[in-house]
A and B are shown apart, each in its own frame.
Chain A
Amino acid sequence: MLNLRQINKEACDMRYEAPSSIDQAVALLASASGEARVLAGGTDLLVQIKTDLVEPTLLVDIKGIAELREIGEEAGAFRIGAAVTGAELKENPRLKAVWPGVVEAANLIGSTQIQGRATMGGNLCNASPAADSVPALIAAGAKVAIVGPGGRREAPVEDIVIGPRRLSLTKGEIVASFLLPAKAPRTADAYLRFIPRTEMDIAVVGCGVCLTLDGQGTCTAARVALGAVAERPLMVAAAGAALVGSKVDGAALATLDAAARAACRPIDDKRGTKEFRVEVAGVLARRAAQIALERARKG
């Protein structure tokens, strides 16, 4: 049985800080001499500490920072704090109605118990290629607000993860919130993942689609993102382009399918072979596009 105290002898040197402002959190992380980690929900981090995958000397708990815990809506755009839990997302009817794909993706992570703690900020910054919420956020055109020693900046979600366990953030930078843009009329998103069971598993492939229709039902914009088929979640511009100008009919879906498959550069692992992942990526892209289409038609 894993016991933190027996296995990780150095762990008792781990410092814990719970700042109440982002600036304090940034200062702590920026001045850390050893390995420092942001603690949000902890559902990945604590397991990694227990198994000695990481051995931080400083944990900065960001859950005491009010603005990281809030969901705000302004002029149709949403700002979701990086430390908002999956359970809190689920209980926000307005967000669920406007961005069902994003909320569904975040709610696919782990069990009810995990949802009580897990956050989208953590899901992104854990930097797993298979993170469920990330393709949905990329498809939605979400940006992250980053705070660091140099001030605040924004970046598209697809620019944050650069490889397994690797982020484009610099020392001291924290993902503070996600910004979901105001949606054009008849815009809707969807996220699907494949796992060999119905719950409690990690994506073999995940696919987020967000598309916009004009008044005649022609697609005027589309974004498609894939998870678990490369070293990081992928924004697949060609897959989105396959839908634009079409009625999202059979021919367009076939082009989408091919573009999604072409973007994959997966590995073989216990969850699936390369060939299987490539095939499933095309299938999920079609199905997610069809769900997004139905939703967009409803307004």
Chain B
Amino acid sequence: MAKHHVTATVNGDAVEFLCETDETLLDVLRNQLGLTGTKEGCATGDCGACSVTVDGCLVCSCLMLGVEANGKSIATIEGMAHGEELHPLQRKFLEHAALQCGVCTPGFLVAAKALLEKKPDPSETEVRYWLAGNLCRCTGYDKIVRAVLDAAAEMRGA
């Protein structure tokens, strides 16, 4: 079967790719576009390691077909820092040691950024609920939640 020709925007850049129906957006990002910052954890939408935003909406890229990205604007972890300058969330994750192995980290960062864009001053409870679909199996969630709250405070200028 002929491959689908897809044009999309990824981290602000126009991209085009060819994909089979059964290739997920995650497959395309990692295998075709070389954007391996987005991780595959469970591949069933339970762990959030593959989180990206599509037209500003947080989704699991493992549960979306590459062909569905046609005409969409995708944001991945690779678009988060400006050159050498880390996003405040990235800096706070380092300061709070909110990661160990790092596999879940891109997903947490992308998800947390989506939260703060919607809600610049979330409560701890709101952070925990928003991030309930992001699983971390080594650091534990306290450091992650503290890093998100601290980044939010900094970004508000508090």
Distance to closest chain A CB from B56 (angstroms): 10
Contact of A47 (CB < 8 Å), options: B45, B51, B70: B45
CB contacts under 8 Å to B, within A1-39, are 1-5, 8, 11-16, 18, 39
Looking at chain B's contact residues, the main secondary structure is mixed
CA distance A46 to B27 in the complex (A): 13
- Do A114 and B60 touch (CB < 8 A)? yes
Residues of A near B106 (CB, < 8 A) are none
Is the CB–CB distance between A3 and B57 below 8 Å?
no
- A217 on the interface (CB 8 Å rule)? no
B48 within 8 A of A: yes
- The stretch among A95-103, A105-113, A254-262 that forms the contact with chain B is A105-113
For chain B, the count of residues having a C-beta within 8 Å of the partner chain is 37
Q: Evaluate contact between B51 and A113: CB separation under 8 angstroms.
A: yes
Query: Shortest beta-carbon distance, B14 to chain A, in Å?
Result: 20
How far does the alpha carbon of A70 sit from the alpha carbon of B21 in the complex, in Å?
A: 26
Taking the closest CB of chain A, its distance from the CB of B100, in whole angstroms, is 20
B46 touches A43 (CB 8 A): no
Let me know if B23 and A113 touch, CB within 8 A: no
Check: A87 CB closer than 8 A to any chain B CB.
yes
User: Is B21 touching A199 in the complex (CB atoms < 8 A)?
Assistant: no
Contacting residues, chain B, for A50 (C-beta < 8 A): 43-44
**Contact yes or no, A116 B65, CB < 8 A:** no
Question: Which residue on A lies nearest to B57, using beta carbons?
Answer: A116
Complex: A5 Cα to B51 Cα, angstroms: 20
Q: Which of B62, B65, B132 lies in contact with A111, CB distance below 8 A?
A: B132
Decide if B132 touches A43 in the complex (CB within 8 Å): no
Contacts of B4 in A (CB 8 A): 16
CB B44 to nearest CB in A, in angstroms, measures 5
B1 within 8 A of A: yes
What mask results when residues 140 to 183 of chain A are scored 1 for a CB within 8 Å of chain B, else 0? 00000000000000000000000000000000000000000000
* A37 CB to nearest chain B CB (Å): 12
Q: Is A104 interfacial (CB-CB < 8 Å)? A: no
B60 touches A113 (CB 8 A): yes
- Quick check: is A71 within 8 A (CB to CB) of the other chain? no
Contact (A16, B67) CB under 8 Å given A4-B22, A11-B22, A112-B111? yes
Are A1 and B40 in touch, CB under 8 angstroms?
A: yes
B54 in the interface, Cβ–Cβ < 8 Å? yes
Interface string of A74-112 (1 = CB under 8 A from B): 000000000001010000000000000000000000111
- Residue-wise, chain B 98-132 has the 8 Å CB interface mask toward A (1 for contact) of 00000000000001001100000000000001111
A16 touches which of B21, B114, B115 (Cβ 8 Å): B21
Q: How many residues on the A side are at the interface (Cβ–Cβ under 8 A)?
A: 37
Using known A-B contacts A1-B40, A12-B22, A199-B129, determine if residue A43 contacts B1 with beta carbons closer than 8 Å.
Answer: no
Across the interface, do A112 and B21 meet the contact criterion of CB distance under 8 Å? no
Contact check, A110 vs B27: say whether CB atoms are below 8 A apart. Answer: no
If the complex has contacts A110-B45, A113-B58, are A4 and B129 also in contact, measured as CB distance less than 8 A?
A: no
| B9-47 vs A, Cβ < 8 Å mask (1 yes, 0 no) | 000000000001111100100000000000010111110
CA distance A5 to B65 in the complex (A): 12
Partner of A87 from B22, B40, B46, B57 at Cβ < 8 Å:
B57
Contact yes or no, B65 A13, CB < 8 A: no
Query: 11 A-B contacts, Cβ less than 8 Å apart?
Result: A4-B24, A5-B27, A11-B20, A14-B1, A43-B63, A46-B63, A110-B133, A112-B131, A112-B132, A198-B129, A200-B133
A residues apposed to B, CB below 8 Å: 1-5, 8, 11-16, 18, 39, 41-43, 46-47, 49-51, 59, 61, 63, 85, 87, 110-114, 116-117, 198-200
Given contacts A11-B22, A16-B21, list 5 more A-B pairs with CB under 8 A.
A3-B43, A50-B44, A111-B133, A112-B58, A117-B59
Task: List the 9 closest A-B pairs by CB distance, nearest first.
Answer: A111-B133, A199-B132, A11-B22, A2-B43, A116-B59, A16-B21, A116-B57, A14-B21, A113-B60
